[in-house]
């Protein structure tokens, strides 16, 4: 496994690096609030909270609009020899008054929101990969909606392209067996880094490729799309799964491709 190249820009254990750092968990803020009732309420039942982050560029200003609205840059967390690489599209606004699970816009660590962050980490724990997972976002900064800064907008094509180098650097550093893409936008971003689109896969849309592994030759990794945690309660049934069956299907796919 290569050396920790994320150390070159800043100390990856510095969770309080630059206070201008940007955002984290890829949950839509509105969906986060709507689904908060299903988030864990007992801190004792929470998954492990990350203790370190892997900073690539502690003062990145490639996207001026994101610099303006972010609190901190949300960098990846987890072991650098992880077999599973979990990627979302972009951070949500976060909940600054929350305890610990504020969201990466405030913690500077990916997947640390009170709903989606805890939920996806709990899911990886349930399928036995919590200690083998690295968590990050395709776009590292919270993209605020100009009409309502407490909610997300979709990152622009330029913002996705600007941040793609960071994502590819993480993939080259970690060298995972499987990329677990949470939702359509994360999936399309990983495919773009591989020089492809959803149209290159079998099916007529994102739901057709959920839980269907595909090989990314350029990235030298297997891609496994799953539902975004904020919306999986709606779509699991429409895909023909019960919640336990859906988890079992994820476990089976990971067991088949993660060493």
Handedness of CA 166, 9, 134, 217 (dihedral sign): positive
**Which pLDDT score, from 0 to 100, does residue 46 have?**
86
**Which pLDDT score, from 0 to 100, does residue 259 have?**
59
**Which pLDDT score, from 0 to 100, does residue 1 have?**
39
Average pLDDT across each block of 10 residues of the chain; the chain has 259 residues. List them in order.
34 35 36 37 71 95 96 97 96 93 96 93 96 97 94 93 96 97 94 93 88 95 94 90 96 88
Report whether CATH 3.40.50.620 matches the domain 5-257.
Answer: no
**Which pLDDT score, from 0 to 100, does residue 128 have?**
96
Instruction: Write out the two tokens for 171.
Output: 């993939």
d(CA 243, CA 229): 12
Q: Where are the domains of the chain?
A: 5-257
Q: Are 54 and 148 in contact (CB under 8 A)?
A: no
């Amino acid at each position: 496994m290569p050396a920790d190249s994320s150390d070159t820009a800043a100390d990856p254990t510095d969770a309080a690096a630059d206070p201008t750092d940007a955002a984290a968990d890829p949950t839509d803020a509105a969906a986060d609030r709507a689904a908060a009732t299903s988030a864990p309420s007992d801190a004792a039942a929470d998954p492990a909270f990350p203790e370190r982050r892997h900073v690539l560029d502690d003062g990145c200003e490639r996207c001026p609009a994101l610099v303006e609205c972010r609190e901190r840059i949300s960098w990846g967390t987890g072991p650098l020899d992880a077999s599973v690489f979990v990627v979302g599209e972009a951070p949500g606004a976060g909940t600054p008054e929350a305890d610990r699970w504020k969201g990466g816009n405030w913690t500077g660590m990916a997947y640390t929101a009170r709903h989606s962050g805890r939920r996806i980490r709990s899911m990886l724990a349930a399928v036995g990969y919590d200690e083998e997972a690295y968590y990050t976002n395709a776009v590292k900064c919270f993209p605020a909606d100009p009409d309502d800064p407490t909610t997300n907008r979709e990152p622009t094509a330029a913002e996705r392209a600007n941040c793609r180098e960071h994502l590819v650097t993480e993939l080259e550093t970690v060298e995972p067996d499987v990329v677990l893409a949470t939702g359509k936008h994360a999936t399309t971003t990983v495919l773009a880094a591989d020089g492809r689109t959803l149209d290159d896969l079998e099916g007529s849309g994102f739901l057709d490729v959920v839980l269907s592994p595909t090989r990314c030759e350029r990235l030298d990794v297997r891609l496994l799309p799953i539902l975004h945690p904020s919306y999986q309660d709606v779509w699991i049934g429409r895909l023909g799964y019960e919640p336990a069956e859906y988890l079992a299907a994820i476990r089976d796919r990971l067991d088949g491709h993660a060493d």
